[in-house]
């Protein structure tokens, strides 16, 4: 695994890959790398216009690098902050594709001011976890229909280590809403919670697939280290904080690796032959912030099987979504 790089991504002309957040940052770089190897990439994006602009830019970059036969880029709307949008996206994908080989649950928001999704979930938890929980359930039959070993790759963060699951805060807002700012809403704690949920979900999904004898589908979690993307700037922009935005830009320029390098763990988990179900991959260099991907150990909370089960059950309860593993096995 040492020194694994984008050049090690195998030929992908027979693969169909769904990437959320494919128009920018790590999602865009993963999309480019996979399309350059011939994959059909369904670009699940909140803004179709930005998605189309990104697809055009990716095609130009691939052409400049001399790839003769790039894969197809299929831009489709999918707003992870609205479960109706997620369901509509999945319906259209099921209509147009017989199978999906990789689902990259990549999109996310980080450290934004308090906001809610269309269904009333705290937005970071709702986008980063709940939206992907719903999307994975909807596309799981297509993953099970893959001829090869299908992969679900869920993007987490090293900051999951600071996270914990507050089950009072992961439920959607009720008719008698709690004033979150008065409860001491901490955007970084909320982000850590959502990223811990990503690892717990990835591991629990793999366990449940195994327990139900669903063959040919593997679930893993990854993290990008410290990669320079637009993710770091969104929180300061939404607060109107010019100083914080400037500090993030300086930190990205000085300390961060590129978004292309940050995409390597995702690409590794999606395409490498020796990926283990339920595992966690990230950069193996300085403080796990940069470098080639390697298997790593997540936090003790992320390895808590009881916590993972409780989160899964809460996610099903609050979304009215139930995974039909037995039907997939049959």
CA distances from 88 to 27, 189, 200, 318 (A): 21, 31, 26, 19
Write down the H helix ranges in the chain.
Answer: 25-36, 48-64, 83-96, 123-125, 131-144, 187-211, 231-239, 242-255, 259-262, 264-271, 305-319, 325-329
CB 153 within 8 A of CB 270: yes
What does the chain come to in residues? 330
In the residue annotation, 191 being an active-site residue is answered as yes
Tell me the two tokens of residue 46: 């909140």
CB 47 within 8 A of CB 55: no
318 three-class SS: helix
Give the C-alpha separation, 127 to 109, whole Å.
7
Catalytic residue among 97, 114, 185, 191: 191
- Tell me how far apart the 2 most distant CA atoms of the chain are, in Å: 58
The single residue listed with the structure tokens 């080989």 is: 101
Give the C-alpha separation, 265 to 291, whole Å.
10
H/E stretch holding 151: strand 150-155
H/E stretch holding 154: strand 150-155
First-to-final CA distance of the chain: 35
For residue 292, give the DSSP letter.
S
Give the catalytic positions in this structure. Answer: 191
């Amino acid at each position: 695994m040492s020194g694994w790089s984008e050049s090690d991504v195998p030929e992908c002309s027979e693969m169909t890959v769904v990437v959320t957040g494919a128009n920018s940052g790590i999602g865009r770089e993963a999309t480019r790398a996979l399309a350059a190897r011939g994959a059909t990439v369904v670009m699940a994006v909140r803004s179709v216009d930005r998605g189309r602009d990104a697809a055009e830019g990716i095609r130009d970059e691939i052409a400049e690098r001399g790839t003769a036969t790039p894969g197809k880029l299929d831009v489709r709307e999918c707003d992870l902050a609205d479960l109706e949008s997620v369901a509509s996206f999945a319906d259209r994908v099921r209509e147009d594709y017989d199978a999906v080989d990789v689902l990259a649950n990549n999109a996310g928001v980080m450290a934004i001011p308090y906001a809610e999704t269309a269904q009333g979930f705290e937005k970071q938890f709702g986008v980063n976890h709940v939206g992907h929980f719903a999307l994975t359930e909807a596309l799981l039959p297509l993953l099970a229909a893959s001829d090869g070993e299908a992969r679900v790759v869920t993007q987490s963060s090293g900051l999951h280590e600071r996270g914990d699951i507050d089950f009072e805060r992961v439920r959607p807002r009720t008719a008698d809403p709690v004033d979150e700012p008065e409860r001491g809403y901490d955007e970084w704690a909320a982000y850590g919670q959502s990223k811990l949920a990503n690892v717990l979900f990835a591991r629990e999904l793999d366990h449940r697939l195994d327990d139900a004898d669903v063959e040919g589908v593997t679930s893993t979690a990854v993290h990008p280290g410290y990669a320079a993307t637009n993710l770091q700037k969104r929180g300061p922009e939404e607060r109107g904080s010019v100083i914080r935005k400037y500090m993030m830009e300086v930190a990205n320029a000085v300390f961060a690796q590129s978004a292309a390098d940050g995409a390597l763990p995702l690409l590794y988990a999606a395409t490498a032959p020796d990926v283990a179900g339920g595992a966690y991959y990230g950069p193996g260099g300085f403080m796990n912030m940069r470098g080639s991907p390697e298997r790593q150990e997540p936090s003790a909370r992320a390895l808590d099987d009881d916590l993972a089960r409780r989160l899964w059950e809460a996610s099903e309860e609050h979304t009215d979504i139930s995974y039909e593993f037995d039907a997939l096995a049959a």
